[in-house]
Copies of this chain bind each other. A is one copy, B any other.
Amino acid sequence: MTTHKNRAYNLSVSVDCVVFGFDGKELNILLIERSIEENDGQYNDKKLPGSLIYMDEDINEAAHRVLFELTGLKNIPLSQFHSFGDPQRTSNIRDLHWLEKTVHAKVERIVTVAYVALIKINRKIKLNSNDTSANWFNVKNVCNENLAFDHKFIIERGLEYIKHWLKVEKHLIFKLLPRKFTLSQLRLLYDAINQEHSDVRNFRKKILQDQNIVCLDEFEEGVPHRAARLYKYVQKT
C-alpha cells in the first residue's frame, strides 16, 4: 500500500444524476451539452447533470436542486446508488479547468455521490430548454460520445443498477407502462433496459411465468393492426 501523508480536508463533494427516460421504444439518458473555449478552438462534449454541493446542504437535497437548476426537472424520484471516489476521476485537466472556471474556486479532488432515476418521457416531462442545454440521448450511442470526467463509467453502473430492478424492484419498472399494457409494450421496455433484442416467443413464455403479471379479458382499441391482449401488473409477493 502506498504511503499517504495528507488526509483530505479540502476536497469537494458533488452529486451527479443519472436520469434514464423511456419514450415507449428506447432508453434515453439526460445529458448536458458542454462547450469549452480553448486556445486552439472550441471543445464540445457532454456530461451528466451534476455539481458541487453547498456547505450547509444535505446531499439528497443537493441532487434535487442540481437536477432542477440544470434541466428544469422537478420531483424526479432520485435514488442514491453509488459514490465514486477514485482520485483519478479528475485527472483530465480540461475537466478541472472547466469546473474551476464554473465555480470560481480552486478544486483539487472531487468525490461524487451518484443518483439514478428511471422516468417516462411524456408530455408531463418538460426540459427547461431556455436556460439549459440539457437533452435526451439514446443510451445505445453513449459509448461513442465524448463524456466528461468518469461519467461514462457512472452511466454504465447506473444502467446495471436499474437492470437489477427488473429482478427485485419490479413495481418501479411497471410505472413506466400504461396501467394496462400489451406484451409488446412490456418487451420493448425490458429490451430497452437490458439493451438487447429478445425473441418474442421466449419473452412471452418467460414473462407469463411471473405471477404478478395478470392476463386480462380486454384488448387494445382503435389500433390499425390486430388488437393485442392487455395485461396488468399486480404486486402479489
Contact = CB atoms under 8 A, between A and B. Distances in A.
Interface in A1-30: 1-2, 4-13
Contacts of A9: 10, 12, 52, 103, 105-107
The copy count of this chain in the complex is 2
Interface residues of A, number: 40
Contacts of A53: 7-8, 85, 111
Nearest to A52: B7
A54 B7 contact: yes
Nearest to A167: B168
A83 B54 contact: no
Given A59-B85, A111-B111, A167-B168, A65 B1 contact: yes
Contacts of A168: 167-168
Nearest to A2: B56
Query: Which 10 pairs, one residue from A and one from B, show the smallest C-beta to C-beta distance?
Result: A59-B85, A4-B54, A8-B55, A6-B55, A83-B83, A7-B52, A10-B10, A168-B168, A83-B113, A13-B111
